[in-house]
Structures are given as C-alpha cells and as structure tokens.
Amino acid sequence: MRFLTTQRRTPDERLLWSRDIRFVRRLAALIDGGRVLELDTGTVLVAPADALTDPAAAEVAGAAKAPEYGLVAVDASLPERDRYLVAMSAAVQLSGLAERIGMAQSTQVVQTKMLDYFFSLRRLHKVAFQPIVTLETGALYEYECLFRPDMPMLPQSIASVVQAAINTDRGVELDGYIVATVLARIERIEAARREAGEPAHRYAINLMPSSLLDPAFEPSILSDQVRAAHLVPRQITIECTEQQSVSDIRALQRRVRALRRVGFGFAVDDAGAGYASFALIAALRPTVIKIDRDVVSGVSRDDAKQALIEAFVSFGRRIGAHLLAEGIERRVDLAALATLGVELGQGYLLGRPAADPAPPRKIETVGGGLAARTGRAATRAATADAAARRRPRVPSRA
C-alpha cells in the first residue's frame, strides 16, 4: 500500500472506499491531489477533505444505480502507518458491504478496535467538572469528574466506551487510565488553588465495581496514587453505578469498607434505575446514594416518584447516607426534592459541566432554608395533592 508510506500527508484528508472502480476514478479525475489504490476488496481514494466531500461523490455517482461507498475523515492524530487502515476499515463498514466482502466484524471485535482507537488518542480526551450542591444552603459539596472521550473519526459517549471495556474484559485498563488522567487534572487545579490561597475542593470519580475488586485498586495503592497527586483520600469520592452486576458482593463490601477506612467517600450511582436492590446498597453502606435522573424528572407532579424518593430518604437516614438527586433541571422539581428531604443536588439548573470547576448557580429556591418563598408553598400544595390522590375514594351513598 504505497500511499501509507509516501511523503507526509496533509492532516485534513478524507478516504472513500467503493467496489466500483470506474466511479472512484471519475471522482479522482475531478480532484487535485487525490490518490487512488486498487485492492482486491475494492478501490480507495484519499484526497483533501475540502475536495472529497459527500456532495462531490453524490454528483459523480448520479441518481440511477448509484454505487455504494463509504466516506470518512482520516484521523491525522493516529500514526501514519495506522491512520489509513483505520479509515479504510471504517469506510467499508459505512458502505454496508462489509459482510458481503468478508469484512464483517463481531461485536467484540468492533468494540476491541474502538477501545484501541480510544487508547491511541490518550492526549485528546478531556475531563469536565459538574458541581454537586447542598440543597439547604446552596453551597458547593463537591465536583463530579465527567470523562469526555474525544474520538474525531468515531465519536463515542463514555457510556459506550465503558460498555465496550466491560464486554472485552478491559475494565481495569480503562479505569486505570481514567483515574490517572482525572487525578493529573485535579492536581493542576488544586495546585493553582493552593497558590491562590483558596480552600481545597472535593471530587467524585467514577469507577466500575469490578475494577474495585482488582489488585490494581487496592486501598493502599489507590491512596498512594492520590497522595502522589498531592491530594488526600478524603478529597475523593469513589462513585460506582448499581447497574453493573457484581459477582462477589461480600468481596466488594470488604473493599468499600477498607476504602472508607483510609478516607475515601463512596457513592452508588443511578439508584432506582436498575435492578439493584436496597439490600445491595445497605450491604455497601455508601456515603452518598445518587437518585437516577429519570426518578427526579417531574417529581413535583408525580406521587409515585415522590413516594419512591421518600423511601430512599428514610433508607439513607437509617444507614447514614446522603441522598443526591441527579438531573435537576426545573425549579419546581428542586423545591419538591428539598421538601422531601433530599440533601444534595446536581443538574443543569445548579451548574453545567465545565472544563474548569465553576461555582454552582445561585437559585432562588435554594438557600435561606431550602424550598424558599413560593417554592415551599408550591411544593407543599403539590405534595398534599399527591397524597390526596393516593387515598382511596369512598363511594357516595347518594
């Protein structure tokens, strides 16, 4: 493949793959700087991105019996020996002909390649910080560290990356990289705060429960890693989702207790969204229970959701855990949550994720006593109305 090893390429290229050689050659003839390579499986055209576009390809293809093709961006951040092979594979998959030419891939193979691509872009990925707020006062409690993959040629959410790591048994590798990246970012932030004479913040870092059971995340090792970043364990809350099954609850329980003994906080995420029971949360005894956004949204007008949150509040108090409501976007929901006894909140209403930790928004219904002013009255009325709807009706004797 000569075009993989010839002179240095412009970083702004696209690659087109098709089985129709005449179509590719007609398109190449209209583009300056295009390079064509004929392969057994099809024909490749690499050209400047501003010339090799979907409209240009569609115009050459025509309306009748248009050839099938795949067109993708070439990721210049990859090593030159890899970038065109990766792009060609993506173009073949995009064309819809992969299975016909024997290049179809199993889900696990696709996820393995996606993770390889993810790790090849280590320097591009970002960390965002979203404030978690004490609802009674509106004061900052801590920041959740949200990992943001930057994969230009194959955009993925962090949820997709995590699921791929679970399916391919690479969860520890992924979590190890994420923890190291997040701690390095926090170290720079906290160094600047110390220099400015500002107090230290607390941060929540997401981990898979299965990773916590790995020797790489033993409390002493994780504690040393945190201290190497000039932080202390009490600044860090380890957050795990309840939606990933855990084979050995007792082992996880022991690990969580050990982490808490050295100073780490522990949070269970997405409570109320998955199959995990109150018994699982009780066994782990987290410092924070995060109520899933689907339960939080619309709580002010949903008596069933209010009842569920009341149960979580009571449960949290019995085991000494704070309740945190995720995804708060409406003032009326915020007021309802405060009245129901939820202590902590997170969501766009209180503060959006940002590249640098930003103070939470000042919300009228937060501070000065929880659901202040109209928020309190509205929520009490909504709660009373919901309770009335739950009471059975007595049939009239008339």
Give the tens place of pLDDT for each residue, 326-342.
999 999 999 999 999 99
Amino acid identity at 5:
T
Task: Give the C-alpha distances (Å, rounded to integers) separating 311 from 289, 314, 332.
Answer: 12, 5, 20
pLDDT for residue 204: 98
Ranges 70-79, 186-195, 198-207: which has the least confidence: 70-79
What is the mean predicted confidence (pLDDT) over 369-389?
Answer: 45
pLDDT for residue 276: 53
Q: Would you say residue 231 has pLDDT above 50? A: yes
* C-alpha to C-alpha distance for 295 and 235, rounded to whole angstroms: 28
Return the higher-pLDDT residue of 149 and 279. Answer: 149
Give the tens place of pLDDT for each residue, 256-270.
999 999 999 999 987
pLDDT for residue 366: 47
Return the higher-pLDDT residue of 137 and 373. Answer: 137
**Residue 378 binned pLDDT confidence (cut-offs 50, 70, 90):** very low
**Residue 368 binned pLDDT confidence (cut-offs 50, 70, 90):** very low
In the chain, % of residues over pLDDT 70: 82
Using the Cα atoms of residue 289, residue 292, residue 297 and residue 300 in order, give the sign of their dihedral: negative
**Residue 376 binned pLDDT confidence (cut-offs 50, 70, 90):** very low
Q: Which domains occur in the chain, in start order?
A: 2-104 (3.30.70), 117-390 (3.20.20.450)
Give the tens place of pLDDT for each residue, 88-115.
888 888 888 887 767 666 667 778 888 9
Q: Would you say residue 387 has pLDDT above 90? A: no
pLDDT for residue 309: 94
pLDDT for residue 393: 43
The mean pLDDT value of the chain amounts to 84
pLDDT for residue 369: 44
Give the tens place of pLDDT for each residue, 32-69.
889 999 887 889 999 999 999 989 998 898 755 678 89
**Token pair recorded at residue 62:** 């025509």
pLDDT for residue 83: 80
* C-alpha to C-alpha distance for 148 and 124, rounded to whole angstroms: 9
pLDDT for residue 99: 76
**Residue 397 binned pLDDT confidence (cut-offs 50, 70, 90):** very low
Amino acid identity at 159:
A
Q: Of 136, 127, 216, 226, nearest to 175 (Cα)?
A: 216
Helix (H) or strand (E) holding 168: none
* C-alpha to C-alpha distance for 309 and 370, rounded to whole angstroms: 17
Q: Would you say residue 6 has pLDDT above 70? A: no
| 252 secondary structure, DSSP code | H
Give the tens place of pLDDT for each residue, 276-301.
557 778 888 899 999 989 999 999 99
* C-alpha to C-alpha distance for 183 and 152, rounded to whole angstroms: 24
In the chain, % of residues over pLDDT 90: 57
pLDDT for residue 381: 47
Give yes or no for a contact between 200 and 193, defined as CB atoms under 8 angstroms apart.
Answer: yes
pLDDT for residue 108: 75
pLDDT for residue 367: 44
Q: Would you say residue 200 has pLDDT above 50? A: yes
Q: Going by C-beta distance under 8 Å and a sequence separation of 6 or more, which residues neighbour residue 312? A: 271, 272, 289, 291, 323
pLDDT for residue 39: 83
**Token pair recorded at residue 74:** 């070439």
pLDDT for residue 389: 44
